[in-house]
Structure 1
Amino acid sequence: MTTILVTGGTGTLGSLVAERLRADGHEVRVLSRHARPYAVDLREGGPGLDRAVAGVDAIVHCASTPRGGDEKAAGQLIEAARRAGGPHLLYISIVGVDRVPLGYYRAKLAVERLIEGSGLGWTVLRTTQFHDLVFQGLQALAKLPVMLLPAGVADQPVEVAEVAGRLAELATGEPAGRVADMGGPAVRTAPDLARAYLRASGRRRRLLEVRLAGKAYKGMRDGGHLTPGQAVGQGTFEEFLARRFPAG
């Protein structure tokens, strides 16, 4: 049995990683701002972070926010890991962080580089967007009578439970550096995903594709956030929707 710390362990992904590791017989510590006994704000660090990291064999770093602070949080975590003797540090990132110039993607890439240069044994897994995030985006767009979709953009959503399983597997292995990307089972156009959402939710909306400006939009139109050669996920968006709309 190994002892593994999961940062962001109460979130969508982190909670599933913790659940999977416990099911496999490992001792799991969950770190988040409100999860006792390891209630820690990673951006602040401090004695609570040192207690959380002390004696662990591996850290699965899932904590992240588009609101900023990821680099500072990663820096605090790396320093605590060094003080604790250097456990295996595993980080979940996003496919395309080096190709799509979004602010959040730049922050994720910066964290990758901090981890690579940390002197710790490390592993980085990049995945495509989770079904949950695509669902939330479509749900927001469907509030209007016309769903405005980015023209020429596709996505490759992946099942979050499958990503959790892969992270649990990697966490109990040796540091592997940058491992193969993990993508959902198929690349889907925005209208295709929108129609699947509308069918499942029982809504009717007109779809209108809109061309946008900017380098980030171009990066996504060029497929920088996709990994069709690594379509290893099994769960489809329709299966995800069936769980969200069981009466459908």
Structure 2
Amino acid sequence: MNAPILVTGGTGTIGRRVVPWLVEAGRSVRILTRHPGADSPGIEHVGGDTVTGRGVDAALSGVEVVLHLAGGAKGDDVAARTLVNAARVAGVRHIVMISVIGADRMPIGYFRAKAAAERTLAESGLPWTVLRVAQLHDFVLPIVRSMARLPLLPAPRGLRFEPVDRDEVAARLTALTLEAPAGRVPDLAGPEVLDIPQLAAAYAAAEAQARANGRPPRRRPSLPVRLPGAVGRAYRAGDNLADTDTERGHRTWSDFLAERVTSPVR
């Protein structure tokens, strides 16, 4: 029997990559989403919300494997409790969840909620797998793009990212979903650790290339900023960065920008 794999957040940035790959692997997929779309061969959409619990029990009917991608600025801890409780009743045999590098170290609400979600899953009694990932290129881009519009580039001291490609994350999650439960697997981060000036310089170079007029990118003066309090100390200590045994993707920030930046900022 080809029991469907339930994917929460299956219409999001990563979900849109994972779902077709699961179907190509011969699995049927059920997507739990707040805004269901049209079904297609091998893909079923059901309405629901992991935070409120709406539709979750019905979505889990006949499901043995869950890939939990749904998330937001708030409520990821609540969503994990809701999903785990329903999955336990439904007899789910494997839950795969995406999390964020530094979840147990960063003193920020989003990270704390992710850490709580991880604990809920680990203590559920269900077989599980958790993959922590760095910020996606797609997440970093709007931050850098908005900064590029400012006359001075804010440069928070110690703030660094190691952006990772969404397709590389999706490929790893697809493989984990099709494999046996593995607990906490090695984190996945991008190939580079970059601060804001480095991210912005690469963006400016890609923007200049998009102009195709041969002019070099504008040099933008930076304004050093000290992030205050516990959050600033955590960033300066690199608590949001991966450990040495982390798996590294191959697609760089510049590779990503070469495809995504098609016109200059106005």
Q: Same fold (TM over 0.5)?
A: yes
Of the candidates 202, 215, 236, which is equivalent to residue 221 of structure 1?
236
Q: Matched residues in 1 for 2:8 and 2:47: separation?
A: 10
Q: Matched residues in 2 for 1:231 and 1:189: separation?
A: 20
Q: Matched residues in 2 for 1:228 and 1:158: separation?
A: 15
Q: 1:2 to 1:170 in 2, by over 3 A?
A: farther
Asked if 1:63 corresponds to 2:64, the answer is no
Question: Once the 2 structures are TM-superposed, how far is the Cα of residue 153 of structure 1 from its aligned partner?
Answer: 2.2
Contact 2:144 2:196 (C-alpha < 8 Å) held by counterparts: no
Question: Once the 2 structures are TM-superposed, how far is the Cα of residue 190 of structure 1 from its aligned partner?
Answer: 2.0
Question: Once the 2 structures are TM-superposed, how far is the Cα of residue 231 of structure 1 from its aligned partner?
Answer: 4.7
Q: Matched residues in 2 for 1:245 and 1:137: separation?
A: 14
Question: Once the 2 structures are TM-superposed, how far is the Cα of residue 166 of structure 1 from its aligned partner?
Answer: 0.3
- TM-score normalized with structure 2 length: 0.87
Q: Matched residues in 1 for 2:232 and 2:140: separation?
A: 16
Contact 2:207 2:263 (C-alpha < 8 Å) held by counterparts: no
Contact 2:64 2:91 (C-alpha < 8 Å) held by counterparts: no
Q: How does 1:153-164 map to 2 (within 5 A)?
A: 153-164=159-170
Asked if 1:182 corresponds to 2:188, the answer is yes
Question: Once the 2 structures are TM-superposed, how far is the Cα of residue 7 of structure 1 from its aligned partner?
Answer: 0.4
Question: Once the 2 structures are TM-superposed, how far is the Cα of residue 2 of structure 1 from its aligned partner?
Answer: 5.2
Q: 1:20 to 1:217 in 2, by over 3 A?
A: farther
- In structure 2, stretches of 5+ residues that fail to align are 38-44, 209-216
Of the candidates 86, 94, 102, which is equivalent to residue 92 of structure 2?
86
Q: Matched residues in 1 for 2:180 and 2:247: separation?
A: 24
* Structure 2 match to 1:34: 35
Asked if 1:74 corresponds to 2:80, the answer is yes
Aligned length in residues? 246
Of the candidates 128, 136, 143, which is equivalent to residue 130 of structure 1?
136
Letter in 2 for 1:188: L
Contact 1:155 1:187 (C-alpha < 8 Å) held by counterparts: yes
Of the candidates 227, 247, 254, which is equivalent to residue 212 of structure 1?
227
- TM-score normalized with structure 1 length: 0.93
Root mean square deviation of aligned Cα: 1.7
User: For 1:78-114, what per-residue CA distance to the aligned partner results, in whole angstroms no more than 9, with x for missing partners?
Assistant: 1111111123011100111111111100010010001
Question: Once the 2 structures are TM-superposed, how far is the Cα of residue 16 of structure 1 from its aligned partner?
Answer: 1.3
- In structure 1, stretches of 5+ residues that fail to align are none
Of the candidates 162, 168, 179, which is equivalent to residue 174 of structure 2?
168
Q: Matched residues in 2 for 1:120 and 1:228: separation?
A: 27
Q: Matched residues in 2 for 1:38 and 1:197: separation?
A: 39
Q: 1:174 to 1:55 in 2, by over 3 A?
A: same
Letter in 2 for 1:213: P
Question: Once the 2 structures are TM-superposed, how far is the Cα of residue 206 of structure 1 from its aligned partner?
Answer: 2.4
What SS does the aligned partner of 2:98 have? strand
Letter in 2 for 1:51: A
Q: 1:115 to 1:231 in 2, by over 3 A?
A: closer
- Greater Cα offset, 202-211 or 112-121: 202-211
Letter in 2 for 1:184: G
Contact 2:18 2:173 (C-alpha < 8 Å) held by counterparts: yes
- Greater Cα offset, 176-185 or 134-143: 134-143
Contact 1:186 1:231 (C-alpha < 8 Å) held by counterparts: no
Q: How does 1:5-20 map to 2 (within 5 A)?
A: 5-20=6-21
Q: Matched residues in 1 for 2:237 and 2:101: separation?
A: 13
Contact 2:190 2:252 (C-alpha < 8 Å) held by counterparts: yes
Of the candidates 51, 55, 59, which is equivalent to residue 52 of structure 1?
59
Question: Once the 2 structures are TM-superposed, how far is the Cα of residue 121 of structure 1 from its aligned partner?
Answer: 0.5
Q: Mark the structure with the bigger radius of gyration.
A: 2
